[in-house]
Chains A and B, each alone.
Chain A
Amino acid sequence: MVKRVLYALVVILLCYIGLVTVAEFPPYGEEGNPVHNYVSERYIGEAVEDTGVINMVTAIVLDYRAYDTLIETTVLFTATIAVLITLKTGKKNGKEEEVS
């Protein structure tokens, strides 16, 4: 019980810190925010010219930041190999696979 109260206190503290920070955030949904700068302008204005696709999100994912997406595919690949090495232990039916 004491533990639960402690956890709740931690969470409330986290919420408080978060809310104080949120109050300082640039206002939601406005054009003048720092996020909407030269970077996004180029994506919006010249994606068709640069990459030849009309979906800007695809243009970013597969062209401007294609390297990230390669690594993202690698994350998925890593997870698959991780699942396989965890689950397929070669001990099925008490028999062990022959090695070397």
Chain B
Amino acid sequence: MKDYILKRVVILLLPLMQVFGLYVIFHGHLSPGGGFAGGMIVGLGLVCYAAVYGMEKGTDKVPDRAATLIESFGTLWYGAVGLVGVFKGTLFLSNKATGVPMGQPAALLSGGWILVITLGVGIKVASTIVTLFYALTEEEES
């Protein structure tokens, strides 16, 4: 795509989209949103970039293989947090019982493992969107 306006708009909007996505991920426990919505916003920002600037530049920024690896990593992260409970002698996916600092309600750092899990889910969803986009476009082009 060779549209000048589109390219300028995307390059201006991209940082805002990423920051907003991260904001939604990190405020999932305080306001509507969370890992899925925030990860979707981050991922769609990257998809926007790849769609406007072409697949080569897109895969330069986020390589195909990296997206797949991050995806495995995100789900593993979630599961690993669950296993903390098992190793601490409580149950799988326990939160408060594992003795993690819970923080002050309504503060940014609160909720124990919830914030950690949200981060993992956010990363995973973002890479999922990117992977799906790459897979579907590559097929279209070949």
Assess A/B contact in the complex (Cβ within 8 A).
Answer: yes
Q: Once the chains bind, are A77 and B75 in contact (CB under 8 Å)?
A: yes
Chain A nearest CB, measured from B65 CB (Å): 11
CB contact under 8 A between A84 and B131, given known A54-B106, A77-B71, A92-B142: yes
- Picked from B82, B105, B128, the residue with its CB within 8 Å of the CB of A54 is B105
Rounded to whole angstroms, the CA-CA distance of A62 and B119 in the bound complex is 12
CB contact under 8 A between A62 and B125, given known A53-B110, A54-B30, A83-B132: no
Residues 110 to 142 of chain B near chain A (Cβ within 8 Å): 110-114, 117-118, 121, 124-125, 128, 131-132, 135-136, 138-139, 142
Rounded to whole angstroms, the CA-CA distance of A57 and B82 in the bound complex is 19
A-chain residues with CB within 8 Å of residue B30 when the two chains form the complex = 53-55
B-chain residues with CB within 8 Å of residue A50 when the two chains form the complex = 96
User: Cβ of B102 < 8 Å from any Cβ of A?
Assistant: yes
Chain B nearest CB, measured from A68 CB (Å): 10
Q: Once the chains bind, are A84 and B96 in contact (CB under 8 Å)?
A: no
Q: Once the chains bind, are A73 and B29 in contact (CB under 8 Å)?
A: no
A-chain residues with CB within 8 Å of residue B110 when the two chains form the complex = 52-53
Q: Once the chains bind, are A58 and B128 in contact (CB under 8 Å)?
A: no
User: Cβ of A48 < 8 Å from any Cβ of B?
Assistant: yes
B-chain residues with CB within 8 Å of residue A67 when the two chains form the complex = 92-93
User: Cβ of B54 < 8 Å from any Cβ of A?
Assistant: no
Chain B nearest CB, measured from A61 CB (Å): 7
A-chain residues with CB within 8 Å of residue B106 when the two chains form the complex = 54
Q: Once the chains bind, are A53 and B132 in contact (CB under 8 Å)?
A: no
User: Cβ of A76 < 8 Å from any Cβ of B?
Assistant: yes
User: Cβ of B79 < 8 Å from any Cβ of A?
Assistant: yes
Q: Once the chains bind, are B128 and A66 in contact (CB under 8 Å)?
A: no
**What would be 12 A-B contacts, judged by CB atoms less than 8 Å apart?**
A48-B105, A52-B96, A59-B29, A67-B93, A69-B121, A73-B74, A77-B72, A80-B128, A80-B131, A84-B68, A87-B138, A88-B135
Given contacts A62-B28, A83-B136, list 20 more A-B pairs with CB under 8 A.
Answer: A52-B105, A52-B110, A53-B29, A53-B105, A53-B110, A62-B34, A62-B111, A62-B114, A70-B78, A73-B74, A73-B121, A77-B72, A77-B128, A79-B128, A80-B68, A80-B131, A83-B132, A84-B68, A87-B138, A93-B142
